A and B are shown apart, each in its own frame.
Chain A
């Protein structure tokens, strides 16, 4: 087996977000890192929408991001701290839309190591230096400057190391144009490591240290060091120079402290939420913060771990800081990064769940939220007063949500199923944490936003929109054709019928075109109507006995096909008249479709006409004056062409010209072909084929995201568009459409008007690049696992939150404290404010049943007695064969570290009411945590801690029938086929066991050679298992074929027990494939997305990614892609400086897998490099691109 890895939906959790003018233009942009991918987001400040401009996979772990700007420049650079042992400086090139590597300096080994810098990045606010630090000891400072040609230069590294020191945070202090200073929060462990009494540990202080870069002497000195609160975790630089007093805010548990060299220390407590159930001993931590400078002032926005935002202002005069003030601002989701745009927006990159984009409505200056000042909390001797201050949380007052970027992180479990009987299966995914969690049903297709639906009196056959003059910005008319009439609607405030337009209403229409400067054209079976601006009409009538069947138009040229296959050509002359060419051409067979090249701006004529004929050919004819309607080339195709569209797409293949002309051919058998049309010779080449659906494919030209796109209508609508130098072809998540056309109005710049049945629909498509569209179903707690009831097609989910009061517990506690159902307490929406935090070892948990068709919850059951549901299985017992049961494994009073519990339980529920509800049958106590449950031959197979047991249904409880204790640590996954059981251990990888029925025992006969911390696994076939581990590895193990057979023939199970080998099972499995995905896998499944398509392995990952492994079918393909991958590694080394091969083999060398994402970056190479690689592979660049595209198409 040899696999090809492709990402379908890249992980969209954000771990770093920075703000800057990366294009060098005025509007600010965001750069976010999705761990191994860097993305440029451009917020549109007029609409408030955030658009993704560029997303690039770097094949490395991005741990820190920073931006800086050289003095006097207008463009920001990006610094990446990663696991590559290198510092990388990137520049965004807006013309080519790529990130360019400006500098890459190596300083250490690769990997996320303790003393290799990369974890922390701090830049001097004036852009003169950058510090890159590690968790311990090492810090390097690089001086940034520019050379004679104003290019960025980077100095050699200056060391600011301090051994035996753990670093908590680094930031660049704003000191104006004095020597750059970096502030670090450090702890020295020398003393603590030597003192057995523990006294030194208690005396160990956390220090705030200033490192000054002496620009004159070119070295770094420790300038100042002072002890701060031992529970400090974060630093924020206060503006300095002309903008403020300089210095840093030290954030610690419960307090914020202002510190600066030669300044008094000021401390203010962090206001806490008023909550009767709060744990006063638990400190409140600041998790993120941002400084915002305005013209004459600045403020800081800090966020606590509950998600509350605080506004901090600093009152200063000259160099003296008088007080710092803090007040509650608003509550948003807990952020991994906050960015405030100058235009008054706040970007919140959530650590889990969707990211939000808010607009500031107010700055919280004049409300009645209490404000706390440092001057009230300082004792006379300058110390701080130990007090707690409070605020009342409330819904958003200062912020307004304007946009949301979806993030499926954390994605805890997923399955590919077709529960709603659609063309393609859906992915059911459990996403999110706590009250923000959802089950999302993902369907392959772009999300469509429906703007309007209007029913019509009869079923229309076609629809067009048109402008009235060439200079109009927006469409003015919608023309609808019926089988015997034409209706003209005018677009204004409302859409209404108009009759005095000059259009012939009593006939169906074939085509509509805005012609010349200000005329309109209606083509109908009996003729052509040319309607001038003054409503003067000129008619051209079809010759007697023949009618017009097809037409193709642009603003200057018109071609019609008459019955029998005769083509007639017209052109607009200087005076605006439509003049017929003297040349006509008789095709040898009937014309089924026509298309004319789109007219570029400023041109009067284009050269190519494409004609589809019912003899299964498409011909290209010339429209030149001298060779009018002369054939240029011809292509034979597999079926009758139904529709043709020629479009110009920005350059992909042909060098030199700015765009490539594509001819799209829709066939009657549902296939779409896309071929490149050579602009000089008219020859067709490089055909790409794709089956779209059962119906004939109709094509329409649209404009999407500023580029031409093609809408293809078959049994499903599809859109072919270009994004980031690749042509994408994605289905739309929308109903079957019969006809469509583009629609531009003031409200909707890139809309589509389409016909479905007897309704006219107007819609837009906004989220390009998101291949899945989601239907979310809200959940209450963090979802853990789910199963599907195969009979009733309902979904059972278990949700469990640690450290949380369950609803019942909360009510009980409140009552005990004397609060009777406090009204305001109820008003706080947990989705915004979270559940009330409890103590470790307290659990809230529930079981929920969802109806996937209605996408609603039909039943939920909250567990009591501090039980946490951790595993679930659906099964039927042999003793009651026609009843479906749900088994749920729980643990009561579970503590995570060190692990302890009072008892485990296996609950058995009966599905009642068509599987929509549950009824408890009984609860069986077990001695350990039941982490894995599975239906096994009419009984229940349960992994209870280390023990693997088989239970049968009894009257009062489950009856233990069989037990095996051969698993070393803890069972987390279980699978079975026939009598074979595959067990995933939490530390010790995969084990194969067989159930020997005659002796009623489970025999573990094979295990893995290496330890692996399994998170998920799937049985690919009887002998093969694919699994993922906690470090982000994916691997496939297989039982040797002869061994497999031997075991199966050995009915008594004696041989298979064998003698244990190396403290494990008698036999070992072979490693077939190994690959580091860079993200923890949470589910794996063997599936196929396309009906009757090839089977592949689909995986989901914790950060919200969806990807696939496709098995190669031929040796040639393997060789081809391996060679291509090798060339790509040389020609396009990853952006963050990590070596691709060592990244994919992070813990174990890559085996049997090709990185498709790397191969797809071939499209981003320059033409020279593309050709060079192509020559090495004995192919053309187009062939290589086709092969790469084919791999993706085959999968989805």
Chain B
């Protein structure tokens, strides 16, 4: 398989699956993707989100709201870009 084909396949994956890494993935991007994936999994698994709601003594809907809000910027603002 030639290099161009491999690249195009990779690009296809990256556009299809959000969070697919590439050679220049920064630590920040990695962390953000991981956090968003994790939060999505928390929300999807109802027992898990109930577990949090129980610990925090909040309603499940409130915990879900908080987590979904956190998905916007889970790791703080991105670092300054170094040229």
Contacts and interface: CB of A to CB of B under 8 A. Distances in A.
A293 B24 CA distance: 55
Contact of B47 (A198, A412, A1102): A1102
Given A285-B61, A434-B57, A1102 B77 contact: no
A118 B56 CA distance: 26
A112 B71 contact: no
Contacts of A1102: 47, 50-51, 54
Interface in A279-300: 285, 287-288
Contacts of A782: 54, 57
B52 to A, nearest CB: 10
B61 to A, nearest CB: 4
Interface in B59-82: 59-62, 65, 68, 71-73, 77-81
Interface stretch (A438-446, A578-586, A800-808, A979-987): A800-808
Contacts of B30: none
B61 A433 contact: no
A389 interface: no
Contact of B78 (A83, A195, A334): A195
Contacts of A234: 61
Contacts of B32: 193
Contacts of A433: 54, 57
Interface string A172-211: 0000000000000001010011111110010010000000
Contacts of B36: 114, 136
Given A114-B18, A196-B78, A196-B81, A305 B71 contact: no
Contacts of B79: 196
B71 A166 contact: yes
A247 interface: no
Nearest to A166: B71
Contact of B57 (A187, A196, A201, A802): A802
A305 B62 CA distance: 7
A35 interface: yes
Chain A CB count within 10 A is highest, among B19, B59, B73, for B59
A1079 interface: yes
B58 A336 contact: no
Contacts of A163: 18
B37 A114 contact: yes
Contact of B65 (A13, A61, A285): A285
A66 B78 CA distance: 39
Contacts of B40: 112-114, 119, 134-136
Chain A CB count within 10 A is highest, among B36, B39, B45, B46, for B46
A1103 B54 contact: no
Given A233-B65, A896-B55, A1031-B48, A351 B71 contact: no
A61 B77 contact: no
Given A15-B46, A135-B40, A351 B18 contact: no
B9 to A, nearest CB: 17
A1080 B55 CA distance: 14
Nearest to B18: A115
Given A83-B44, A135-B68, A193 B78 contact: yes
Interface string A138-166: 00000000000000000000000001001
B64 to A, nearest CB: 8
Contacts of B39: 135
Nearest to B78: A196
Nearest to B38: A114
B1 to A, nearest CB: 24
A412 B50 CA distance: 12
A168 interface: yes
Contact of B50 (A204, A410, A434): A410
Contacts of A305: 58-59, 61-62
B46 A61 contact: yes
B61 A233 contact: yes
Given A63-B44, A352-B50, A189 B73 contact: yes
B58 to A, nearest CB: 7
A163 B15 CA distance: 9
B43 A135 contact: yes
A15 B59 CA distance: 13
Contact of A112 (B44, B58, B78): B44
Interface size class of A (residues with CB under 8 A): 35 or more
Nearest to A252: B65
Contact of A197 (B47, B54, B73, B77): B77
A409 B59 contact: no
Contacts of A334: 59
A896 B79 CA distance: 27
Interface in A774-811: 782, 801-804
B46 A287 contact: no
A166 B78 CA distance: 18
Nearest to B49: A15
A1032 interface: yes
B77 A201 contact: yes
A1030 interface: yes
B72 A1103 contact: no
Contacts of A198: 77
Contacts of B56: 802-803, 840, 896
Interface in B1-57: 17-19, 32, 36-37, 39-41, 43-48, 50-51, 53-57
Contact of A351 (B37, B60, B77, B80): B60
Nearest to B52: A896
A1080 B57 contact: no
A194 B78 contact: yes
Given A195-B78, A288-B61, A119 B41 contact: no
A530 interface: no
A467 interface: no
A804 B56 CA distance: 10
Given A136-B36, A189-B72, A201-B72, A803 B46 contact: no
A1096 B41 CA distance: 32
A134 B17 CA distance: 13
A1067 interface: no
Interface string A17-35: 0000000000000000001
Contacts of A197: 77
Given A201-B77, A782-B57, A1030-B51, A119 B44 contact: yes
A119 B81 CA distance: 35
B10 to A, nearest CB: 17
A1170 interface: no
B33 to A, nearest CB: 9
B81 A187 contact: no
A137 interface: yes
B42 to A, nearest CB: 9
A677 B39 CA distance: 58
Given A198-B77, A802-B57, A113 B37 contact: yes
A719 to B, nearest CB: 32
A1080 B51 contact: yes
Contacts of A63: 44, 46
A351 B51 contact: no
Interface in A675-717: none
Given A114-B18, A114-B40, A804 B57 contact: yes
A1079 B47 CA distance: 6
Interface in A101-120: 111-115, 118-119
26 contacts: A63-B46, A111-B41, A112-B41, A112-B44, A114-B19, A119-B44, A168-B68, A192-B72, A193-B73, A233-B61, A234-B61, A285-B65, A305-B59, A351-B50, A352-B50, A352-B53, A410-B51, A412-B54, A801-B57, A803-B58, A1032-B45, A1032-B47, A1079-B47, A1080-B47, A1080-B48, A1102-B50
Given A135-B40, A204-B72, 16 more contacts: A61-B45, A83-B44, A114-B37, A114-B40, A115-B17, A136-B36, A136-B40, A189-B72, A192-B77, A193-B78, A198-B77, A287-B61, A305-B62, A410-B51, A802-B56, A803-B57
**Complex A-B, nearest 10 residue pairs according to Cβ-Cβ distance, in ascending order:** A112-B44, A287-B61, A114-B40, A305-B59, A802-B57, A198-B77, A233-B65, A803-B57, A15-B46, A135-B40
